Amino acid sequence: MKISADCKINLHLHIKEKLPDGYHSLETVFHQIPFGDEIDIVTSDDGLIHFSSSGIEIPDGGTNICVKAAELLRNLCGKNYGCRIRLKKNVPIGAGLGGGSSDAAAVLKALNNIWKLNLTKAELETAGLELGADVPFFISGGCAWAEGKGEILTALEPLLEKGVILLVYPYIHISTPWAYKNLNLNLTKSGDNVIFAEVSKKRASRRHCKEMFFNDFEALVFEKYPEIGKIKKMMIDGGADLSAMSGSGSAVFGYFPSGTVPGELMSKLGKSCFVKAVKL
């Protein structure tokens, strides 16, 4: 089974408080975009989980999340099932695009099918939360308002339609634990229900929403890595209707509703960054 594990951008991200278990309570708008890693999964009769990868090199820091997802699902069903997972890594690592979480969700969904486990979407989301706070979102994908750790989801009508998303990754790996550890919650912007009320409207004004959107991590990350802040400014100066850092960074996205990105902007950013134009 060949599947695409599409990544996401955060149109809005507010960190509210640290929870007793070490996670943080947040409010965010997830928006899936059609660019991601490629995964090929087939069954294996030897009862083992085999994994191989190509594309962007994956740090050898432990078991890959695809394998963890397969092991988790196998433990849940109590069967000695095996599989072979081949991952082609296209999404930059440490970019705030949710590539690993999307891979995990894709494996959970695929093996639920291949192994005929008949787990419900809710059961897959619960399992996915053990692998990462935003894995549940990728079970359904699309566009969603998320609360709690990111697992309390309310589906939204897509806020970005047609046009092009320009992803720019400056080859700076932002550690998510570092970002949360150094974020001063006393300085984050106040969040309220106004943004949710707006984005939950079926015909919410994108322009109205974008005036309220913010990412609490931007001030922290831009101070340490000013070049990332410059990328956002270049996006806006280059005609992006909306631009922000995704998640805890370091990728920055720009939304161009016209469907075209200025060639000069692409050329400038492409000299020192990973650049990917994604058509919606």
Lowest mean pLDDT among 46-50, 96-100, 183-187: 183-187
**Residue 8 bears catalytic tag:** yes
Percent of the chain past pLDDT 70, that is, above it, reads 95
Q: Is the pLDDT of residue 189 over 80?
A: no
* pLDDT computed for residue 32 by the predictor: 97
Lowest mean pLDDT among 125-129, 204-208, 218-222: 204-208
Four-residue CA torsion sign, 201, 205, 210, 212: negative
Distance CA 260, CA 170 (A): 21
**Residue 88 bears catalytic tag:** no
The one-letter code for the residue type at 77 is: C
Q: Which of 37, 103, 134, 216 is catalytic?
A: 134
Q: What token pair was written down for 16?
A: 């509210």
Distance CA 13, CA 28 (A): 4
* pLDDT computed for residue 23 by the predictor: 85
Query: Within the chain, where are the H helices?
Result: 65-77, 99-114, 121-129, 135-140, 176-182, 193-199, 206-212, 217-224, 226-237, 263-270
* DSSP labels, 16-71: EEE-TTS-EEEEEEEEEEEEEEEEEEEEETTS-EEEEEEESPPP-SSS-HHHHHHH
Q: What is the pLDDT of residues 21-48, one digit of tens each?
A: 888 999 999 999 999 999 999 999 999 9
Q: Is the pLDDT of residue 195 over 90?
A: no
* Domains delineated in the chain: 2-155 (3.30.230.10), 164-279 (3.30.70.890)
Task: Give the global pTM.
Answer: 0.93
The whole-number average pLDDT for the span 164-182 is: 94
Distance CA 54, CA 6 (A): 17
* pLDDT computed for residue 21 by the predictor: 86
- Cβ(199)–Cβ(145) under 8 Å? yes
252: part of which helix (H) or strand (E)?
A: strand 252-256
The whole-number average pLDDT for the span 216-233 is: 97
